[in-house]
Chains A and B, each alone.
Chain A
Amino acid sequence: MRKAIDRSVVILCGAATVLILLMLVIILGNIIAHGTARLSWEFLTQPPAQGMTAGGIFPAIYGTVLLVILMSIVAVPFGVIVAIYFAEYAKRESRFYRWTRMAVNNLAGVPSIVFGLFGLGFFVHGIGQALDKGLYGGKLLLGQPSILWASMTMAVLTLPVVIITVEETMRAVPREYREASLALGATRLQTILRVVLPQSWSGILTGAILAVSRGAGEVAPVLFTGAAYFLPRLPTRVNDQFMQLGNHIYVLATQSPDVEATKPLLYSTVLVLLVLTFLLNVTAMVIRKRMRSWASR
């Protein structure tokens, strides 16, 4: 009797696991099955043509790459510095630590559409228009949706990911290293810069990769801060608008006139985004795993 109950518990839990993985396989399978049809070198390097029913998605890829580069320039250094605070300077009992910890956890849970509102209210209308008044005498240059503000908004959204990942790695650096460094006469700053940071490169890389993966796929934050429907000319200035893979999927799925004609293109775009985010996530996982096995040696 006991054994029967036991076995059924294990089977149920195992079945739940299988069901989850099955859903993953179904989704992936469906997208791969329908998405490979239009996938080709031309698809990746040409702009859309014939009213989004032919051609490729190169501007969306380019825009996405530009977006995540700008985003990372801000998010990664910022995240690393805050991670340094958490791993090296924070005193667990201090109120400041509690507040910063709560702030970062909170930031991780903010809905993406609220980031969109924030980006619109703070970056576009707030800072953008203030800069316009101050630097350009009121001309409308920076106070409008653009890749600059969209990437800043994304940077704020992905900041917690970077912080948490880098902090985890820094904490894994053995205490003895720090002690040895200080014993040799180095200051705390030197210890961090010369010892802890170099040993944490894998965490910084992982954090950056995870941030990039979110930046490519999140749509709500860029909907009103700079993503556009059709831009055959690639963005060249920071106040240009841009196309993004996630936004392109949303637009193709809801705005396209001839849904049946655009569907192959839509599926292929989804496949490209999925492959991109999967590659990034798998790379991050591999780095993490290798880092863990190094640390335990």
Chain B
Amino acid sequence: MRSSQVVSQLLRVSDVTNRRSLRRRQLMDRAAEALILSFASIAIAIILLIFVYVGREALPLLWENVDGASLASTVTPPADWQPVSANPRYNVIPLILGTLKVTFIAMLFGTPLALAAALYTSEFAPVRLREWIKPSVELLAGIPSVVMGFFALIVLASWLQEQFGLEFRLNALNAGIALALAIIPIIYTVSEDALSAVPNHYREASLALGASKIQTAVRVVFPAAMPGIGAAMILGFGRAIGETMIVLMASGNAAYMSLSPFVSTRTLSATVAAELGEVVFGGGHYRILFFLGTLLFVVTSVLNWAGDRYNRRMRMKLFGAE
């Protein structure tokens, strides 16, 4: 059907030809535009609101010391997180270390797998297979994180302990692997999109010059897709840093300073989730937890912004256009 035929079926003739209603329609048009723009600005407002309302609860830490909690206390040695104690200590370094450890393990396991799979799907797989692989990996994305955490707690932890004779059953490795499974779909989907979007003439030129399909894929297509792949990795990293349920259930929650992946760890997000219920509204512990939340929010926002900028910069460099 020609487009005008479709359109005229959707519009009533009287609506558009009636001259008297033209003025009214134009006014409504203007009003609707204002409404739509204001809704769009609410989206910006929401992000600002989150920052304000979460940061606001932590703000007093800047200038006063609320029952032993202050901004300085978050970094004062010793590196102990003991908020409920005769001598409360709020050092966040063990928590930051825990978050970074688990995220690093997740990226270590997840990125190579996701990128390799994306490369396979986009460049090597037969077309028919491609149509099945991509949705299947997306199914992995559909698994709620509480289910992943459950699986890691009940099944994975025992298996890992049996295989490797680990001292701690619930540890950073356990949570990291489950987390990797959670971020693989994101990295995979965005990377695969980026790889598929590389124009075909790149591949054709490379093949014409005598390169094999694999050489083309690895040396031409993959670098050309770097903006998207970089963005994918940053998205995955951001998701891993902020994930709560998996680490809450699977990492053992010990605020232990150690670089080993085989010991129990405590992350920022799990700390907030575990301790928020007990705190008295407005107390020192409460404010510190909101500080942790603000920290998470700021870090993920910066990562997001950085990923966005990287994406645009690389696109500019490689393709010369936005």
Contacts from A to B (Cβ < 8 Å): 2, 5-6, 9-10, 12-17, 19-21, 23-24, 27, 30-31, 78, 81-82, 84-86, 89-90, 92, 96, 99-100, 102-107, 109-118, 120-122, 125-126, 156, 159, 163, 174, 176-177, 179-181, 183-190, 192, 194-195, 198, 213-214, 216-220, 223-224, 246-247, 249-250, 253-254, 263, 266, 270, 273-274, 277-278, 280-282, 285
Contacts A111-B297, A277-B144, A281-B141 known; list 9 others, CB within 8 Å.
A17-B116, A23-B140, A78-B39, A111-B242, A112-B242, A112-B245, A113-B293, A118-B54, A219-B144
Which residues of chain B are near A224, meaning CB under 8 Å? 276-277
Q: Are A113 and B269 within 8 A (Cβ)?
A: yes
Q: Are B43 and A82 within 8 A (Cβ)?
A: yes
- Most chain B beta-carbon contacts within 10 A, residue among A78, A110, A188: A110
| Selected contact of B144 from candidates A85, A92, A246, CB within 8 Å | A246
Shortest distance between the CB of A236 and any CB in chain B (Å): 25
Shortest distance between the CB of A176 and any CB in chain B (Å): 4
A180 vs B33: C-alpha distance when bound (angstroms): 20
| Selected contact of A113 from candidates B8, B29, B41, B272, CB within 8 Å | B272
B113 at the interface (CB under 8 A from A): yes
**Which residue of B has the minimal Cβ distance to A218?**
B144
Which residues of chain B are near A250, meaning CB under 8 Å? 146, 149, 245, 249
Q: Are A285 and B143 within 8 A (Cβ)?
A: no
Which residues of chain B are near A247, meaning CB under 8 Å? 146
Which residues of chain A are near B6, meaning CB under 8 Å? 177, 180, 195
A27-B151, A112-B244 given; A17·B7 CB < 8 A: no
A2 vs B214: C-alpha distance when bound (angstroms): 10
| Selected contact of B46 from candidates A156, A217, A254, CB within 8 Å | A156
Q: Are B273 and A16 within 8 A (Cβ)?
A: no
A281 vs B143: C-alpha distance when bound (angstroms): 10
Q: Are B300 and A110 within 8 A (Cβ)?
A: yes
B142 at the interface (CB under 8 A from A): yes
B198 at the interface (CB under 8 A from A): no
A176 vs B15: C-alpha distance when bound (angstroms): 20
Q: Are B297 and A194 within 8 A (Cβ)?
A: no
A106-B305, A281-B138 given; A19·B147 CB < 8 A: no
Per CB-CB distance, the 4 closest pairs between chain A and chain B, nearest first, are A111-B242, A217-B144, A16-B116, A13-B120
| Selected contact of B117 from candidates A5, A13, A96, A281, CB within 8 Å | A13
| Selected contact of B293 from candidates A117, A246, A282, CB within 8 Å | A117
A104 vs B42: C-alpha distance when bound (angstroms): 10
**Which residue of A has the minimal Cβ distance to B272?**
A113
A24-B136, A220-B244 given; A186·B16 CB < 8 A: yes
A122 vs B293: C-alpha distance when bound (angstroms): 14
Question: For chain B residues 113-169, which have a beta carbon within 8 Å of chain A?
Answer: 113-114, 116-117, 119-121, 124-125, 133, 135-151, 153-155
Q: Are A254 and B249 within 8 A (Cβ)?
A: yes
| Selected contact of A30 from candidates B113, B135, B151, B305, CB within 8 Å | B151
**Which residue of A has the minimal Cβ distance to B40?**
A85
Which residues of chain B are near A16, meaning CB under 8 Å? 112-114, 116-117, 120
A14-B124, A121-B56, A277-B142 given; A270·B150 CB < 8 A: yes
Q: Are B53 and A106 within 8 A (Cβ)?
A: no
**Which residue of B has the minimal Cβ distance to A24?**
B140
Q: Are A103 and B46 within 8 A (Cβ)?
A: yes
Which residues of chain B are near A113, meaning CB under 8 Å? 242, 244, 269, 272-273, 293, 296
A89-B36, A220-B245, A285-B135 given; A6·B214 CB < 8 A: yes
Q: Are B120 and A100 within 8 A (Cβ)?
A: no
B215 at the interface (CB under 8 A from A): yes
A174 vs B218: C-alpha distance when bound (angstroms): 35
A92 vs B140: C-alpha distance when bound (angstroms): 34
Shortest distance between the CB of B58 and any CB in chain A (Å): 10
Q: Are A100 and B273 within 8 A (Cβ)?
A: no
A2 vs B249: C-alpha distance when bound (angstroms): 47
Which residues of chain B are near A13, meaning CB under 8 Å? 116-117, 119-120, 124
A270 vs B217: C-alpha distance when bound (angstroms): 40
B71 at the interface (CB under 8 A from A): no
A117-B276, A187-B25 given; A85·B303 CB < 8 A: no
Q: Are A189 and B25 within 8 A (Cβ)?
A: yes
A26 vs B84: C-alpha distance when bound (angstroms): 40
B80 at the interface (CB under 8 A from A): no
